[in-house]
Structure 1
Amino acid sequence: MITYFESLLEQISVHRVGNKLQDEYFTLSDSPLKINDELLQNLLMQYFLKPFEKVNEVYRLIHSTDDLELNEVYHFVKQLFAQPDKFHEISQQITRHLFDVSSHPKIKGGEVYITLFRDVQIEGEVFQALGIFKSETKETYLRVYPDGDGFTVAYEQEAINIQKLDKGCLIFDTEEDKGYKVVVIDQTNKSAGEAAVYWKDDFLKLKIRNDDFNQTTNYLNLYKDFVSEKIDDDFEISKPDKIDLLNRSMKYFKEKDTFDFEEFSEEVIGNETAATSFKEMIQNYETEFDVEIGDSFEISAPAVKKQNSNYKSVLKLDKNFSVYIHGDRKLLENDFDEDKGMNYYKLYYKEEK
């Protein structure tokens, strides 16, 4: 999704925010950071941008009133793209806003990096991008270096691991009227509650873009939940049959270019009552999350590839066996052995590999 082999870090300002509920404050630097060391610049580029290489979801900045100007980050970003000479001043305003929303006791303090990149590629196009990053997790590192005829070991506390970006977002200078293209990472605060959502919801105010990738992802996630849980409300269905339904759905998404609900219902679900129940589940989801999935859309191959690993085709039998079911469900039979008082499965195959 994101490539940066031709990108350049043009500007960077570093500040710090604490948690105001813990009587911590924010610290704003007086001037941008000047980096003359090429190696350091490359390390920072890796730290900030490499985590986005595998990010597929694209978001937009929004506001509940539909007036984008009321979204603080949107206001600041729009101003910065129009007046890059005010970069540092605007970076201070963004940091103040982040401090203002850091109002949950579990939110950690940390350094805030506001950056301006040139030539970052998203979806095959190159744009200028504003980056906002926050480092919350600190680690201790050992340093070993020669000392006379031997070595000395030292350590550095409160250091940052450049392989672990805690929080970050890239806002691309395109589609301004729609809330820009935004990609986001949040590796910390994944537990439930305010601390888990303040970065995306309170600070940035994001809504995921309703494109082919997200439509495909939503359908696959909803169908998995439907088969795993909701289908039991209407039918008595065995675990192998559930796995078969999931395998058939993944096969459909891998082989088709376009999703069609009627076709999917007939070829995959194969039962009118179940199809109606699944349709109701989709409609409830659309209402709850204010998103339109639709009955027909282009299937996103990257989304299918990403979801494929979440579709488990393993039948676990006590603690003794795990059976991987990839093909024809008819080659697997199950029954009950009255003498042993145990269930059993019978598998048919032509050759052993």
Structure 2
Amino acid sequence: MTAIDSVVLEQAVVHQLGNPTRGEELKLSANPLSLNDPIVRGLLTRYFLHPFNEEEQYRFTHISNLELNEMYHYVSALFDKPASFMEQSALMAHFLYTKSTHANVKQGELYVTRFSQVPFGTEYVEAVGIFKSETKEPFLKVFPHGKSFEVAAEDGININKLDKGCLVFRQNREEGYIVCVVDNTNKQNEARYWVNDFLQVMRNTNSYHHTDTALGMCKLFIHNEMAEKFEVSKSDQIDMLNRSMDYFKTKDEFRMDEFAREVLHHDEVIESFHQYKNVYESARQVAIEEEFPIHLSAVKKQQRFFKSVLKLDKNFHIYIHGRKDLIEQGYDELIGKRFYKLYFDEES
């Protein structure tokens, strides 16, 4: 999240909780943090807010009635009555503790915060933050000892790595608020307790979501499905990845049939692509629209994962950005090795 200089950290409290199946306790703090030191306040604000992408939005949900979503209820009560901050934070900690029974759930600290002056679009709004730190890292502390210095090792939190977080903007209350989520320690489905069990949130199906999901599906199709079903070289895969990214970067709207014609070309590949789309939607429980406006922030995010590097053993890396017609692949029978021939005008 950018432009956080205006944000005011109004209140914060830390509770400690573990995994009840391992006999680890829940320890509630009796008082909020003092926040008297402006440096500490600034570091905490950056630690909490910097990892969020405000374009990737969720909302609280419930299978029958939104009011029955516990976190939606606690956050609403906190927005309505800021004086209940400690009470609501304790209820959140209790609820998370009951959901922390999976073997992969680690002991850690739960931070509950209240912010004001948070930038959201063209406005400044209130927000509630819920964060959990699970990972401790060693660091060295240098201190004077007589006329010399000593070094001690301690474990602490890396303020550049937020493990888990949830930021709830005071917007769209009736639809479940605008919620942003971070979960950097449990990427696998078996431990998605933070998103599914604790927060109970669902991604908003906006243009960012559609663009991000479609690009992710395209990348996996080219990397995995094409390699299994068709005879395709690594350079061909990279060329198709580049064409896919160029489509999303140069078009205002995504159209499934147009994308298939311009990027995939061959009828049998296009048919396989449509079949893979159905499998992907079922497995990921998402729906990829046939047409939608392309969101450039999602394109920029996905571009990091569209690798255009051809790795040859451990000796060479070739970066391919286009003009596949200037690359020739062959096999040298004399030395028994494959080769690539590259054509170019000048080197720099």
TM-score by length of 1: 0.90
- Kept in 2: contact 1:144–1:151 (CA 8 A): no
Q: What residue in structure 2 maps to residue 209 of structure 1?
A: 204
What do the CA deviations read for 1:145-181 (whole angstroms, capped 9, x no partner)?
4455x33336473433333322221111111122211
Q: What residue in structure 1 maps to residue 242 of structure 2?
A: 247
Q: What residue in structure 1 maps to residue 345 of structure 2?
A: 350
AA in 1 matched with 2:184: Q
| Residue pairs, 1:82-121, within 5 angstroms | 82-121=80-119
Corresponding residue SS for 1:327? coil
- Kept in 1: contact 2:136–2:155 (CA 8 A): yes
Q: Which runs of 5+ in 2 are unaligned?
A: none
Question: Given the alignment, which residue of 259, 269, 290 partners 2:264?
Answer: 269
| Alignment partners' CA distance in 1, 2:80 and 2:294 | 36
What do the CA deviations read for 1:119-160 (whole angstroms, capped 9, x no partner)?
112344322110111222334444334455x33336473433
| Residue pairs, 1:69-80, within 5 angstroms | 69-80=67-78
| Alignment partners' CA distance in 2, 1:146 and 1:201 | 48
AA in 2 matched with 1:270: H
Q: What residue in structure 2 maps to residue 134 of structure 1?
A: 132
AA in 2 matched with 1:18: G
Q: 1:228 to 1:143 in 2, by over 3 A?
A: closer
- Kept in 1: contact 2:141–2:154 (CA 8 A): no
- Please tell me whether residue 176 in structure 1 is matched to residue 173 in structure 2: yes
* RMSD value, Cα: 2.2
| Alignment partners' CA distance in 2, 1:117 and 1:322 | 47
- Please tell me whether residue 24 in structure 1 is matched to residue 19 in structure 2: no
- Kept in 2: contact 1:172–1:182 (CA 8 A): yes
How far did residue 56 of structure 1 move? 4.2
AA in 2 matched with 1:157: E
Q: 1:233 to 1:105 in 2, by over 3 A?
A: closer
| Alignment partners' CA distance in 2, 1:297 and 1:320 | 42
| Alignment partners' CA distance in 2, 1:35 and 1:156 | 26
What do the CA deviations read for 1:168-195 (whole angstroms, capped 9, x no partner)?
21111111122211112223244x463x
Q: What residue in structure 2 maps to residue 14 of structure 1?
A: 14
Q: Which range moved further: 43-52 or 200-209?
A: 43-52
Q: Which range moved further: 332-341 or 210-219?
A: 332-341
How far did residue 13 of structure 1 move? 2.2
Corresponding residue SS for 1:188? coil
What do the CA deviations read for 1:226-246 (whole angstroms, capped 9, x no partner)?
111212454322222221111
Q: What residue in structure 1 maps to residue 333 of structure 2?
A: 338
Question: Given the alignment, which residue of 315, 323, 341 partners 2:318?
Answer: 323
Q: What residue in structure 2 maps to residue 46 of structure 1?
A: 46
Corresponding residue SS for 1:210? coil
AA in 1 matched with 2:135: T
Q: Which range moved further: 70-79 or 181-190?
A: 181-190
Q: Which runs of 5+ in 1 are unaligned?
A: none
